[in-house]
């Protein structure tokens, strides 16, 4: 799992934003120095828990992070109340300072290599589950890659995400996608950055809408189509900057990407990574997925 933390000074106080494994990048409730090399971070939220008598109670559950810095590296431990309300869940973590984002590339001068057809329209050759212990809900139907994570009566089925076996550095990716009403998926670039795929037609602009860099960059304009219609996505990732065209309209224009998004499977900004498709959320269909690697 991947996390991300940014700490900054604001009018002589410390503020921070945090991503912990999944979900969104969010502000924390408190951050302060223990000394020059040790930091405490607290994020808290309301949760509902069930007691031994079966009654539910709402409570504020703090999530604490003790962070120790050594040069450009960090290590630490996270602590939060266990579901039983009595004990503590703890997890150790480590990390490093990400290098500064370079200046925006001139995309008019970018050169591309030979196109790579990611989906052959026949089978799942070239794709594999990100977690082999989960169930693959993707299948090919009439030349279309369809995910249908149906839940049946009984124990919940844990559906997984699929990724390309091949890995890529910077690239342009084009695809078509069809989202049913109320459904949700995502396209992860290099296994780190999720471009949101969801039914958000008619909603106000938000960093969780169709075509957004999930929880990080809000589209500049709403260009999604109603649920059930095929939509086109044209995505360029170059020098840690992302451009997204949705249905022919540029909604993110060469914007810097400061860190990973929830669900990332790696965090090395210099490493090649896969394209992965979110399959654990809802029904979605993909077709005509073509990637052009950027030649440097």
pLDDT digit string (tens) for 180-235?
A: 999 999 999 999 999 999 999 999 999 999 999 999 999 999 999 999 999 999 99
pLDDT score for 35: 96
| pLDDT score at 226 | 98
Q: What confidence tens digit (pLDDT) does each residue in 12-31 have?
A: 999 999 999 899 999 999 99
Q: b vs e for 194-229, b when ≥16 Cβ sit within 10 Å of the residue's Cβ? A: bbbbbbbbeeeeebebbbbbbbbbbbeebbbbebee
Distance (Å, rounded) from C-alpha 238 to C-alpha 170? 5
Cα distance between residue 187 and residue 226, in whole Å: 19
Predicted pLDDT at 156: 86
At residue 85, does pLDDT exceed 90?
Answer: no
What's the number of CA atoms in the CB half-sphere (13 Å) around residue 216? 22
CA gap 214, 226 in Å, rounded: 20
Residue among 203, 1, 182 nearest 92 (CA): 1
Residue entry with tokens 């109670």: 57
What distance in Å separates the CA atoms of residue 100 and residue 129, rounded to the nearest whole number? 32
């Amino acid at each position: 799992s991947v996390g991300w933390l940014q700490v900054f000074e604001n009018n002589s106080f410390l503020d921070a934003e945090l991503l912990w494994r999944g979900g969104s990048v969010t502000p924390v409730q408190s951050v302060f120095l223990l000394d020059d090399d040790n930091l405490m971070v607290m994020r808290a939220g309301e949760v509902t828990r069930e007691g031994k008598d079966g009654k539910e109670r709402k409570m504020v559950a703090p999530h604490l992070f003790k962070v120790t810095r050594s040069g450009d590296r960090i290590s630490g431990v996270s602590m939060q109340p266990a579901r039983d309300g009595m004990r503590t869940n703890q997890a150790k973590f480590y990390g490093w300072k990400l290098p500064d984002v370079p200046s925006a590339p001139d995309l008019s001068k970018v050169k591309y290599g030979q196109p790579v057809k990611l989906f052959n329209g026949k089978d799942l050759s070239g794709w594999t589950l990100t977690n082999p212990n989960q169930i693959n809900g993707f299948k090919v139907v009439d030349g279309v890659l369809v995910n249908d994570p149906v839940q049946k009566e009984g124990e919940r089925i844990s559906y997984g995400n699929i990724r390309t076996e091949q890995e890529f550095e910077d690239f342009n990716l084009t695809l078509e996608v069809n989202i049913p009403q109320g459904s949700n998926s995502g396209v992860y670039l290099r296994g780190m950055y999720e471009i949101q795929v969801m039914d958000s037609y008619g909603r106000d602009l938000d960093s969780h809408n169709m075509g957004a860099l999930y929880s990080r960059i809000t589209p500049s304009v709403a260009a999604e189509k109603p649920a059930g219609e095929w939509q086109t996505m044209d995505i360029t990732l170059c020098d840690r900057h992302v451009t997204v065209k949705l249905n022919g309209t540029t909604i993110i224009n060469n914007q810097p990407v400061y860190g990973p998004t929830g669900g990332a499977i790696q965090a090395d900004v210099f490493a090649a990574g896969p394209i992965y498709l979110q399959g654990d959320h809802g029904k979605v269909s993909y077709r005509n997925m073509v990637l052009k690697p950027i030649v440097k």
